[in-house]
Structure 1
Amino acid sequence: MHPEFETYLRNGSDMAEETIRRISDLAVPRNLRRNEVLFSAGEVCRHKVFVMSGLLYTFNISADGNQHILQFSPENSWTLDVESYDRQIPSQVSIGAVEPSSVLSWQKKDFDMLLAKVPQLKKFAEDLIARNTHYSRKRILLSLSATPEEKYEDFVQTFPNYLARLPLRMIAAYLGISIKTLTRIRHAQLQR
């Protein structure tokens, strides 16, 4: 039993208690240390992951050694490499823990079985996918057209709780700007 996860499902869906317990019972818990990698680029993603506590991030290291952060996954969110998971091909990204974290994971075969047998879970998953798609589209458009200042302002508005949890280098890697630019933007804001 995983009470936090079961409460999350109860609050976000109309699933019966028996169904919630069935989903929860197939989950495998894991604790991650700060900076521990859950999943590395080159591996095939074989699990759906729910973050019960802590903060994970999905990232890529480019050929020149720069880190690019695609997303953060705080408590009560899901994470995986969708392409690797769906197609069962090696991933281009890694997933790691920003801070000590507790997660639940489901093997692909178990989660696929649950999706096939639990229509409410399938609907729940489709709604999550739609929200993530909408957010990703917004993020891409912002990344292509916004100034560094606008990117930072959007980050602050969208994720106010992350500022105290993340080092500046990670925020810069997420925004696609240099740490020097981020420092300049933050300094200018303090001067106002």
Structure 2
Amino acid sequence: MTGQELQNLKYPIGQFNCPTNISKQHIENWISILEEFPNRLENLVKDLTDKQLDTPYRPEGWTVRQVVHHLSDSHHHSYTRFKWSLTEDKPIIKAYFEERWAELIDAKTAPIKMSLQHLRAIHTKLTYLLKTLNDDDLNKCFIHPETNSEVPLKKNIGIYAWHSNHHYVHIENLLKRENWL
């Protein structure tokens, strides 16, 4: 496999490219993606067998099961970051080692139903909150300790809409390659 082929498997929709000027339309579109994501993901993975769930989406990548659990964990962190940013002045968020979390026994073996239910709850709460934010709220930031950079909430909405689609396409592409759709 060439480096470009591996890169295409890692980033099938490309990396997140944030618009310079985030419009109200961008935000509404991103919130819509987040609102619909739990249903889309559940419909994509609901009929997979354990063997299929334990198939990596790319060489040296996570299994479908790990990706589903990762989405639940990651989006839970994101929800918390939104809440911190709305209630504190530029909080320094807690980063976590997502690759280590993906190696824990629950990420490797637990039924995906629990993470699908958790993701549905988190996205319901998150999108309800996001729809109520005004411009001042959307411009509030958190500080990411790995880059020491400020991340405005309006950008974080886009990051997690991208993140949802990014991992969805990982799974979808695997299902297409294996003729499981």
* TM-score higher than 0.5: no
Indicate the structure whose relative CO is greater, using CA pairs within 8 Å and at least 6 residues apart.
2
Higher Rg? 1
Given the two structures, how large is their TM-score scaled by the length of structure 2?
A: 0.28
